[in-house]
Amino acid sequence: MKVTVRVPATSANIGPGFDSLGIAFSLYNTFEFTYMESGISFSGCDKKYQNEYNLCYVAYKKVAESAGKNIGGVHIAFSCDIPVARGLGSSATLIAAGAVAANKILGCGFSKFELAKICTPIEGHADNITPAIFGGFTASMMHEGHLYTLSYPVSEKLKFFALIPDFEVKTSVARSVLPKAYSRADVVYNISHVAFLIKALETGNMNTLIPALTDKIHQPYRTDLIHGYAEAQCAAKRAGAPVFFISGSGSTCMCISDKDISEELEKNFKELPNSWKVYPLTVDKYGAMII
Ligand code: HSE
């Protein structure tokens, strides 16, 4: 049996929504799973990831075990367009694909929400996993050890642009630079901004979106990890981008506008070091799917 799963890129945090908010976008990784009697094998990915610790296989196995199924063996062929370690949820695509494939091939019968619950501990936070599985704009929270997730609409007026440089930022490094504790003022700042951000993304009201997208929990501590951050922010501003923020833990930055500014962004980012690429993206509404 063969199953092909396509999973969208995701941008987590969206400014103040650290470890909670995420949006799925129209850039994809595709994985073909072929059931075998035993053993595991891989193609289309670096040799160093061709082992039982590959997140795609880890999720496949975890779903099989959660359903009490005999896992058998599997060959996984990768066809990936999402750059790795750039804050676009490439690891979440592996996890979501492994989970969806095991669910289908082994007949586990889990719902998407049950798959998200199984997958979240593999990644450690749900902000990439839930949009990768459900598509769209999601908020996730952990309460007493249980995952809760909600989907919100995003205005069709908003245009999203991913600005992807040629260097990686490892999430573990980007998390290690964050403080262990925050002041009450910073916590209140982020809580209030998230509330306004969700509404601003729904209505497409730029006057609310611009202030709502700022944050005090992660971005101020991470900009040093993104080479040329200030120059990139200026280049986006000159192109007419009203907002600019770090996608996930970087290195990709995102901007949102109510106009198509892709040509202006292309022109300005071509002049910067680090080969920044401009990707105009639309919101993916479907999430992980068998194709
Ligand atoms: N919320 C996570 C972070 C996303 O910012 O560290 C990256 O996986």
**Which ligand 1 atom minimizes the distance to the CA of 124?**
8
Q: Omega into 91 within 30° of 0, i.e. cis?
A: no
Same fold, 2-153+285-290 and 159-281: no
Distance 23 CA to ligand 1 centre (A): 13
Measured between alpha carbons, how far is 194 from 190 in angstroms, rounded to an integer? 6
Q: Which residues line ligand 1 (CB under 6 A)?
A: 12-13, 18-19, 125, 127-128, 171, 174-175, 218, 248-249
Centre of ligand 1 from the C-alpha of residue 107, in Å: 32
The pLDDT assigned to 77 comes to 98
Gap between the Cα atoms of 279 and 84, Å rounded: 15
The model's confidence at residue 30, banded by pLDDT at 50, 70 and 90, is very high
Closest-lying ligand 1 atom to the alpha carbon of residue 89: 8
Confidence of residue 157 (pLDDT cuts 50, 70, 90): very high
Mutate to test the pocket of ligand 1, among 128, 215, 222, 246 (most ligand atoms within 8 A of CB): 128
Atom of ligand 1 nearest to the CA of 87: 7
Which residue's alpha carbon is at the smallest distance from atom 3 of ligand 1? 249
CA 34 – ligand 1 centroid, Å: 31
Any bridge partners for residue 41, and if so which?
75
Under a CB-based contact definition with an 8 Å cutoff, are residues 288 and 252 in contact?
no
**For a pLDDT cut of 90, what percent of the chain falls above it?**
100
User: If you search the block for the tokens 């005090």, which residue do you land on?
Assistant: 216
Instruction: Tell how far the Cα of 124 is from the centroid of ligand 1, in angstroms.
Output: 9
Which H or E element spans position 159? Answer: strand 159-164
**Identity at 87, one-letter amino acid code:** G
Query: What pLDDT score was predicted for residue 129?
Result: 98
Assigned token pair, 182: 């925050």
The 10s digit of each residue's pLDDT in 54-113 is: 999 999 999 999 999 999 999 999 999 999 999 999 999 999 999 999 999 999 999 999
Q: How does residue 274 score in pLDDT terms, banded at 50, 70 and 90?
A: very high
Q: Write the single-letter amino acid at 19.
A: D
Taking the centre of ligand 1 as the mean of its atom positions, its distance from the CA of residue 70, in whole angstroms, is: 33
Find out if CATH 3.10.129.10 is the number for domain 2-153+285-290: no
- The CATH number of the structural domain formed by 159-281 is 3.30.70.890
Residue 143 gets the label, from left (phi > 0), alpha (psi -120 to 50) or beta, of: beta
CA of 38 to the centre of ligand 1 (A): 35
What pLDDT is attached to residue 75? Answer: 98
Domain boundaries, the chain: 2-153+285-290, 159-281
